[in-house]
Chain A
Amino acid sequence: MRSAAFNAISDKVRAGERLTAGDALALFEEPDLLALGALANEVREQKHGDRAYFNRNARLEVTNVCYASCNFCSFAKLEEGMPGAVTLTVPRAIEALRSKVDEHTTEVHVVNGLHPGLPFEYYEELLRALASAFPHAHRKCFTAVEIHFFAQHYRMSVRQVLERLIAAGLQSLPGGGAEIFHPEVRTRIAHDKATGDEWIAVHRESHALGLMTNATMLYGHIETFAHRVDHLLRLRELQDESLKLGKGRLQAFIPLAFHPDGNGMQKLPGTTGVDDLRTLAVSRLVLDNVEHLKAYWVSSTPKVAQIGLSFGADDVDGTIVSETIYSAANKKAPEGLTVDDLVRLIREAGRIPIERDTLYNVVAEHPRAALEGQFKVRERLQGRHLQVVS
């Protein structure tokens, strides 16, 4: 029961043509989920074959104090001295990480609230301390929202902020804080932090300085499909520019499913499994210039992430030793997964587990499942998917 529009779009995808906003909207509305998934899977297998990536990472928030008031975030309006407010000194931060980082950890991931009372030097000091304590772990720190906040708060340009942080040891930016770019949505859920344009400007600047970054989208709350499409197209445009410049770029796109519990948007229904997979698939098809797509297991649950590896995703993120933003809102997600868990998760999905570092260099290739009953993913010619006429 796939629509006529879908058939035209799949012809375009197979011919390597770029999809329009109208196409993307039609894909979000396509009733035939399997046809959509199969098409995204075709693109995914062309780019990555049967490979599926994960890394060993450790996360930390040095502060959850935040002056902003995003509706979906449990840190919103948390002030120093309020119950639950925590700000770590640099030595304490390093100490907290020691229990999570071992010699195999390839990435430390630091994101924080927008703390109005810390000096900028605090962040520089933090980066230098990370570099000396864990020289083998790539430092992926501060969302674009934080960078933008630093620039405003410490009266510098974004470029100056980035240059100083890079000098102190910053190696790449995570993709957080993107939410939904479109002002109709953003002003209602995250009105007092970087706008969509400002978020993009930070990444553009970062790319120009040679940094790799990621991008996210928080979906499944008050936004429409059109808002999601707008979000994806803005990212695609940014990536076009950055690729032209040839320095840094977006490495991975990560759709984040909105979870309604434990935050200021509890009345919303949250996403469905179908929506999670659909969003992955459309993202894969629309973001033709972004190499990697993550089925972030913390957000979608490991069960859905497994299926996501057939709906366009090629990455499940990392072992993640702690993840407060999500675990505050969603108690169902486990605390962290071991490497064995992730290897098994990927194998069970019929893919080859590849441990990567932040820049997608291969750290270790785990052999494909010796699991009984594993399924071969055949090399498929374009368009040879079964058509069931019903």
Chain B
Amino acid sequence: MIRIAGVGFLNAAPLMHGLESDPDVELFLGPPAEVARRLAEGECDVALVPVAAAANIGEIDLLDLGIVARGPVRSVVVAAERPIEELERVLLDASSRTSVILTRLLLRRPGIAAPPHEVIASIEGNVGGLIIGDPALEVEGRFPHVFDLGEAWNQRTGLPFVFAAWAARRGALTEAIVARLRRAAVEGLAAREETATAYARARKHDPERYVSYLRDTISYSIDDAAERGLARFLSDAAAAGLLPPPDVRVVRDRSVPRRPSIDSLLTRAADGGRLSMTEALRVYREAPLFELGLAADAIRKRKNQPSVVTYIVDRNVNYTNVCTTSCKFCAFYRPVGHEGGYVLSREVLGQKLQEVVDAGGVQILLQGGLNPALRIEWYEDLFRWIKATYGLGLHALSPEEILHIAQLEKLDVATVLTRLHTAGLDSVPGGGAEILVDRVRRAIAKAKCTSDEWLGVMRTAHRLGLRSSCTMMYGTVDTDVDRVVHLLKLRDLQDETRGFTAFFCWDFQYERGTRIAPGDHGTVLYLRTQALARLVLDNVDHVGASWVTQGPAVGQVALRFGADDWGSVMFEENVVSSAGTTFRMNAAGIEDLVHRAGFQAVRRNVRYDHLGTPA
């Protein structure tokens, strides 16, 4: 059985001819990002992926069959009402990273990610839109100015452009797979006219446009010229910091290229270069502790004032412990109707908030269980009251809670976030990310939102102008591969939105009352994981030390392994403290510890602006 993943676009159909009905093939068709995820997470043997995704995964072998444009491509275009030179902004359909990167390389204009339907709807005046795939063919002729990216690439470089190719992990392209894919292509190329005609008829479009597209516009073989075009694209993108240095090769013979050494990977990352998934995994597994730490420390110093470690005075308030999710690692929640369930009254909350104000606090972190008794109006009232009475920053409601409210109210996430934002929400905490690999999420909490849902809430929040943090809780049933995949998902979203302020990670803290086996994961693994995150998340400004889980002594050491932030002065931390971790610290204690670790402690707000050192 060969497990194959491919995209459902028309231009890919000739490469997949007959695979669907082959009993020896398990075929999955989905959007490019999902196909790339399957390849990265080992859920398929070979996948038709955009070349940027292949470079991001790293150590990929490409078969010399793919989607190639030798001139105009027609299905990847920037459309506009005005000439391209006059555009001020370009909205990007972010579903294809390859096309987004190509746009950035060719058109040096600010780009803004948006969903495909919004892109087309927003093209007006000096705002253009990047349209990809079948929608691009459908709007052909509708806009007066069209900038064809295939054509532009060809004009600039004199080379073909490879959009996607069959890809497998290095060495995994077996003869059986190669033979099967070649047969599909031979049959598919012969059937292009029928394929295009059937496609057009199903949509009541003019078949000729589609036939010429498949037969004359797209080419399917990655010959020497196409391979040079591919290499040029990947290295230009790497030079612009948009992709890791290329570690993909086109397989024609069986030569094995040398892998870069761990030292060279660390040096590249320390210099601000990008690591692919495979490279990140090698670094995680093989780099000596100190060298990993030194590279992370170099990045910390470049991204931040080297002598400063920030912290925030805030308070974690858990407004309710009633929750319908019952995550296996959570000792905090009570099911609906349980006698130990609570919702904090205004009185109790008010007292807590006043204490924060009195202690010089600037924000609260407000999180809770998924309590079906609390409606969106409850949150809106609460937020308005907190803002009006205490003027504190509101870092509130993790994606899980936002989704819960959306479901409860039958509203979409954007509406919920907009309403809460209007009521006073300032930023979204990155909790509940756990590991953004659904196999892991299902194992630790069946009812938890999926990775895509979690990322979707963050994407929406960022697009509404909210910032958020991001986190990773490892050490349940996750593997090192899962952790690296998690970091890459965060990095991809950050490329799109730039909305994440900081990253925190910690290992699962066992306590009686949770339903996951005890397991200490060790502080060396913590330091390695945090340092790795500092290397991989090259587009995130801050990394925080999780001293609450690792202890203050290890927290101090973590400041040498890539962290530039000490998190918050905590009054209480229910989700963690009911799991047995009871470190607490006041502002003076934090400043002293940070100082004795060799740094200057500076207060910050939730956007990481420095607030100056208190007297």
Contacts and interface: CB of A to CB of B under 8 A. Distances in A.
- Real complex partners, A and B? yes
B288 A303 contact: no
A210 interface: no
A31 B598 contact: yes
B265 to A, nearest CB: 10
Contacts of A306: 522-524
Interface string B290-324: 11011101100110001000000000000000000
A25 interface: no
B253 interface: no
Given A34-B290, A386-B263, A388-B267, A310 B554 contact: no
A348 B520 contact: yes
B474 to A, nearest CB: 9
Interface in A274-297: 274-277
Contacts of A26: none
A376 interface: yes
Contacts of A38: 288, 290-291, 294
B486 to A, nearest CB: 13
A31 B520 CA distance: 31
Given A272-B597, A388-B267, A307 B557 contact: yes
A373 B480 contact: yes
Interface string B474-487: 00000110000000
B266 to A, nearest CB: 5
A386 B560 contact: no
Interface residues of A, number: 41
A120 interface: no
Most A Cβ at <10 Å: residue of B295, B297, B553: B553
Contacts of B288: 38, 377-378, 380, 385
B598 to A, nearest CB: 6
A31 B307 CA distance: 11
Interface in A96-148: none
A383 interface: no
A169 interface: no
B528 interface: yes
B442 interface: no
A304 B284 contact: no
Interface in A334-390: 344-345, 348-350, 372-378, 380, 384-386, 388, 390
Given A301-B551, A388-B270, A348 B522 contact: yes
Contacts of A374: 285
A385 B553 contact: no
B289 A310 contact: yes
A386 B522 contact: no
Contacts of A177: none
How many chain B residues sit at the interface, stated as a range, is 35 or more
Contacts of A388: 267, 270, 294-295, 297-298
A147 to B, nearest CB: 34
Contacts of B592: 269
A272 B556 contact: yes
Interface string B548-563: 0011111111001000
A273 interface: yes
Contacts of B598: 31, 33, 274
A306 B297 CA distance: 20
Contacts of A310: 289-290, 524
A380 B286 CA distance: 12
A63 interface: no
A386 B290 CA distance: 9
Contact of A348 (B521, B557, B593): B521
Interface string B533-557: 0000000000000000011111111
Given A33-B560, A372-B480, A373-B480, A345 B522 contact: yes
A41 interface: yes
Contact of A373 (B284, B306, B523): B284
B359 interface: no
A37 interface: yes
Given A272-B593, A303-B554, A350-B289, A390 B301 contact: yes
B285 A375 contact: yes
Most B Cβ at <10 Å: residue of A35, A373, A376: A373
Contacts of A307: 523-524, 527, 554, 557
A86 to B, nearest CB: 31
A349 B556 contact: no
B550 A303 contact: yes
B554 A304 contact: yes
Contacts of B593: 272
A284 B294 CA distance: 21
B259 interface: no
A203 to B, nearest CB: 30
B528 A375 contact: yes
Interface in B120-165: none
B525 interface: yes
Contact of B552 (A1, A34, A273): A273
B524 A348 contact: yes
B252 interface: no
A274 B597 contact: yes
Nearest to B301: A390
A378 B270 CA distance: 20
Contacts of A31: 598
Nearest to A347: B522
A42 to B, nearest CB: 9
A310 B557 CA distance: 12
Contact of B479 (A37, A274, A276, A373): A373
B601 to A, nearest CB: 13
B553 A304 contact: yes
A374 B521 CA distance: 11
Contacts of B301: 390
Given A378-B286, A388-B294, A276 B553 contact: yes
B546 to A, nearest CB: 12
B525 to A, nearest CB: 6
B416 to A, nearest CB: 37
Nearest to B262: A378
Interface string B261-284: 001001100100000000000001
A274 B596 contact: yes
Contacts of A41: 289-290
A373 B520 contact: no
Given A33-B560, A306-B523, A378-B288, 13 more contacts: A38-B288, A273-B551, A273-B597, A274-B556, A274-B597, A276-B553, A301-B553, A306-B522, A309-B524, A345-B520, A385-B294, A388-B294, A388-B298
22 contacts: A33-B557, A37-B290, A269-B592, A273-B552, A274-B596, A274-B598, A303-B551, A304-B523, A304-B554, A306-B523, A307-B523, A348-B522, A350-B524, A372-B479, A378-B288, A385-B291, A385-B294, A386-B267, A386-B295, A388-B270, A388-B295, A390-B298
Interface of B: 263, 266-267, 270, 284-291, 293-295, 297-298, 301-302, 306, 479-480, 520-525, 527-528, 550-557, 560, 592-593, 596-598
Interface of A: 1, 31, 33-35, 37-38, 41, 269, 272-277, 300-301, 303-304, 306-307, 309-310, 344-345, 348-350, 372-378, 380, 384-386, 388, 390
Q: Top 3 A-B pairs ranked by shortest CB distance?
A: A273-B553, A348-B522, A38-B290
